[in-house]
A and B are shown apart, each in its own frame.
Chain A
Amino acid sequence: MAFFLAQFLTGLANAAALFLVASGLSLIFGVTRIVNFAHGSFYMLGAFIGIYLMEILPGHVGFWAAILLTGVAVGLIGAITEIIVLRPIYKAPELFQLVATFGVILVIQDLALMIWGAEDKLGPRAPGLRGVWRIFGEPVPKYDIVLIAITPFILFALWYLITKTRLGVLVRAATQDREMVGALGVNQAWLFTGVFALGSALAGLGGALQLPKGGADLLMDFNIIGEVFVVVVIGGMGSLPGAFIAAVIISVLNVFGVTYLPQSTLVLMYVVMAVVLIVRPYGILGREEVAGEHGQVGAPEQPIRPYGRTGILAVTLFIAVLALVPLFAEQFVMTLIVDMIVFALFAASLHFILGSGGLVSFGHAAFFGGGAYAAALLVFHTGTPMELAFLFAPLAAGMLALAIGWFCIRLTGVYFAMLTLAFSQLVWSLAFQWRGVTRGDDGLVGIWPSDWLNAPAPFYYFTLILGVGGIVFLRHVIHSPFGYALRAGRDSPRQAEAMGIDVKRVQYAAFVLAGVMAGLAGGIFVFSKGSVFPTVLEIAESFDALIVVFLGGVKTLAGGVVGAGFMTGVEDWLVRLEYWRLLLGLVIIAVVILMPEGIVGTLRTLWRRMRNDDEEVVK
Chain B
Amino acid sequence: MTEILRVENLKKSYDGFLAVNDVSFSVAAGELKALIGPNGAGKSTCFNMLMGQLKPTHGRVYFDGKEITGHKPRDIWRRGVGRTFQITGTYQSMTVIENVQMALMSHHRRIFTIGPRAWRLYRDEAMELLKTVAMQDQADRPCSVLAYGDLKRLELAIALCHKPRLLLMDEPTAGMAPTARVELMQLVADIVRDQGVSVLFTEHDMDVVFAHSHHIMVLNRGELIADGNAAEVRNNPQVQEVYLGGGTLFKEDTHA
Q: Is chain B a partner of chain A in the same complex?
A: yes
What separation, in Å, do the CA atoms of A485 and B113 have in the docked complex? 10
Contact of A500 with B107 in the complex, beta carbons under 8 Å: yes
Q: Are A481 and B110 in contact, with the CB atoms below 8 A?
A: yes
**CB within 8 Å: A-B pair count:** 127
- A498 B113 Cβ-Cβ under 8 A: no
Report if B182 contacts A (CB, 8 A).
Answer: no
Residues of B with C-beta under 8 A to A616: 141-142, 145
Interface residues of B in 98-155 (CB under 8 A from A): 98, 101-103, 105-107, 110-119, 121, 140-145
Are B93's CB and A303's CB within 8 A? Answer: yes
A303 to B98, CA, bound (A): 9
Say whether B66 faces chain A, with CB atoms less than 8 Å apart: no
Tell me whether A618 and B140 are in contact (CB under 8 A): yes
Q: A479-B117, A482-B113 are in contact. Are A618 and B77 (CB under 8 A)?
A: no
List A residues 484-534 near B (Cβ within 8 Å): 484-485, 487-488, 490-492, 494-495, 497-502, 506, 509
Decide yes or no whether B89 CB sits under 8 A from chain A.
yes
User: Which residue of the partner chain, among B94, B110, B144, contacts A487 with CB atoms under 8 Å?
Assistant: B94
Stretch of A10-18, A199-207, A294-302 at the chain-chain interface: A294-302
A477 to B116, CA, bound (A): 9
A258 CB within 8 Å of chain B: no
* Cβ < 8 Å to B, chain A residues 397-427: none
Among A305, A480, A500, A618, the residue within 8 A (CB) of B115 is A480
With a CB–CB cut-off of 8 A, which chain A residues contact B140? Answer: 618-619
Are B94 and A491 neighbours in the complex by a CB distance under 8 Å?
A: yes
The dominant DSSP class at the A interface is: loop
Contacts of A484 in B (CB 8 A): 94, 98, 101-102, 105, 118
Q: How far is the CA of A506 from the CA of B114 in the complex (A)?
A: 12
B72 contacts partner chain A, Cβ-Cβ < 8 Å: yes
Q: Mark A286-319, 1 if CB is under 8 A from B, else 0.
A: 0000000000100011111110000000000000
Contacts of B77 in A (CB 8 A): 498-500
Smallest CB–CB gap between A305 and chain B, Å?
A: 7
Cβ contact within 8 Å between A302 and B90: no
With a CB–CB cut-off of 8 A, which chain B residues contact A501? 74, 106, 111
**Contact (Cβ within 8 A) B114 A296:** no
The verdict on A304 contacting B73 (CB below 8 Å), with A495-B85, A498-B83, A616-B142 known, is no
A257-305, CB < 8 A from B: 296, 300-305
- Using A300-B144, A303-B98, A500-B106 as known contacts, say yes or no to A487 and B113 having CB atoms under 8 A apart: no
Q: Are A495 and B142 in contact (CB under 8 A)?
A: no
Q: Whole-angstrom distance from the CB of B70 to the nearest CB of chain A?
A: 14
Q: Is B95 in contact with A492, judged by CB distance below 8 angstroms?
A: no
Tell me whether B161 and A300 are in contact (CB under 8 A). no
Q: Are A499 and B142 in contact (CB under 8 A)?
A: no
With known contacts A301-B92, A491-B92, A618-B140, A306–B117 Cβ distance under 8 A: yes
A559 interface residue (CB < 8 Å to B): no
A50, CB-defined interface residue at 8 Å:
no
Total residues of chain B contacting the partner, CB 8 A: 43
A330 proximal to B (CB < 8 A) = no
Look across to chain A and name the residue whose beta carbon is closest to the beta carbon of B138: A616
Within the complex, the shortest CB–CB distance from A167 to chain B, in Å, comes to 32
Instruction: Report if B53 contacts A (CB, 8 A).
Output: yes
Query: Closest A-chain residue to B93, C-beta based?
Result: A301
B193 at interface, CB cutoff 8 A: no
- CB contacts (< 8 Å) of B90 on chain A: these are 491-492, 495
- B111 touching A485 by the CB < 8 A rule? yes
Residues of B with C-beta under 8 A to A306 = 117
Q: Let me know if A476 is at the binding interface, CB within 8 A.
A: yes
Q: Is B166 an interface residue (CB 8 A)?
A: no
**Closest-CB distance, A601 to chain B (whole angstroms):** 13
What chain B residues lie within 8 Å of A305 (beta carbons)? 119
A40 in contact (CB, < 8 A)? no
Judged by a CB distance under 8 angstroms, whether B163 is at the interface is no
Q: Is A451 an interface residue (CB 8 A)?
A: no
Number of interface residues, chain A, beta carbon within 8 A: 37
Q: Cβ of A497: which chain B residues have Cβ within 8 Å of it?
A: 53, 72-74
B158 sits at the interface (CB 8 A): yes
Q: Is the CB of A491 within 8 A of B91?
A: yes
**Nearest chain-A residue to B103 (Cβ)?**
A499
A479-B112 in contact (CB<8A): no
- Chain B residue contacts of A619, Cβ below 8 A: 140
Taking a contact as CB atoms under 8 Å apart, the answer to whether A483 and B118 are in contact is yes
Which of A477, A487, A619 has the largest count of B CB atoms less than 10 A from its CB? A487
B78 in contact (CB, < 8 A): yes
Contacting residues, chain B, for A492 (C-beta < 8 A): 89-92
Q: Are B117 and A480 in contact (CB under 8 A)?
A: yes
Cβ of B11 < 8 Å from any Cβ of A? no
Give the shortest distance, in Å, between B155 (CB) and chain A (any CB): 9
Shortest Cβ distance from A619 into chain B, in angstroms? Answer: 7
Q: For residue B94, which residues in chain A have a CB less than 8 angstroms away from its CB? A: 303, 484, 487-488, 491
B34 interface residue per 8 A CB criterion: no
User: Contact at B92–A296, with CB atoms within 8 Å?
Assistant: yes
Interface status of A615 (Cβ within 8 A of chain B): yes
B95 lies within 8 A of A303 (CB): yes
**Closest Cβ neighbor of B91 among chain A residues:** A491
B234: interface (CB < 8 Å): no
- Which residues of A lie under 8 Å from residue B51 when comparing CB positions? 498
Measured in the bound complex, the distance between the Cα atoms of B106 and A301 in whole Å is 22
Set of chain B residues within 8 Å of A490, measured between Cβ atoms: 93
B114 & A480 in contact (Cβ 8 Å cutoff) = yes
Most chain A CB within 10 A, of B92, B101, B113, B116, is at B92
* A482 partner, pick from B53, B103, B112, B162, beta carbons under 8 A: B112
* B72 lies within 8 A of A481 (CB): no
* Chain B min CB distance to A412 (Å): 16
Tell me the minimal C-beta distance from A474 to chain B in angstroms: 10
Q: In the complex, A157→B93 CA distance in Å?
A: 46
Cβ-neighbour of A618 out of B78, B95, B103, B162 (below 8 A): B95
* Chain B, residue nearest A506 (CB): B111
The answer to whether B91 and A499 have CB atoms under 8 Å apart is no
Say how far B63's CB is from chain A's closest CB, in angstroms. Answer: 15
- Alpha-carbon gap, A63 to B118, bound state (A): 67
A42-B187 Cα distance, complex, nearest whole Å: 61
CB pair B91 A500 closer than 8 Å = no
Q: Which residue of B lies closest to A617 (CB)?
A: B142
Residues of B163-177 at the interface with A, using a CB-CB cut-off of 8 Å, are none
Q: Known contacts A301-B93, A618-B95; is A500 also within 8 Å of B112 by CB?
A: no
User: Do the beta carbons of A615 and B145 come within 8 Å of each other?
Assistant: yes
Complex-state Cα separation, A498 to B74, whole angstroms: 5
B45 to chain A, nearest CB (A): 15
- Would B112 and A499 count as touching, CB distance under 8 A? no
A618 adjacent to B93 (CB under 8 Å):
no
State whether B118 touches A481 (Cβ < 8 A): yes
Assuming A481-B111, A499-B158, A618-B95, is B118 touching A494 (CB within 8 A)?
no
Nearest B residue (CB) for A493: B89
Given contacts A485-B102, A495-B91, A499-B158, contact A303 B114 (CB under 8 A): no
12 intermolecular pairs with C-beta atoms under 8 Å apart:
A303-B94, A476-B114, A481-B118, A484-B102, A484-B105, A484-B118, A488-B91, A495-B158, A499-B103, A499-B161, A501-B74, A616-B142
Interface residues of A (CB under 8 A from B): 296, 300-306, 476-477, 479-485, 487-488, 490-492, 494-495, 497-502, 506, 509, 555, 615-616, 618-619
Cβ-closest 8 pairs across A and B: A495-B89, A301-B93, A300-B144, A492-B89, A491-B91, A500-B106, A484-B118, A480-B114
Chain B residues within 8 Å of A, Cβ to Cβ = 51, 53, 72-74, 77-78, 83, 85, 89-95, 98, 101-103, 105-107, 110-119, 121, 140-145, 158, 161-162
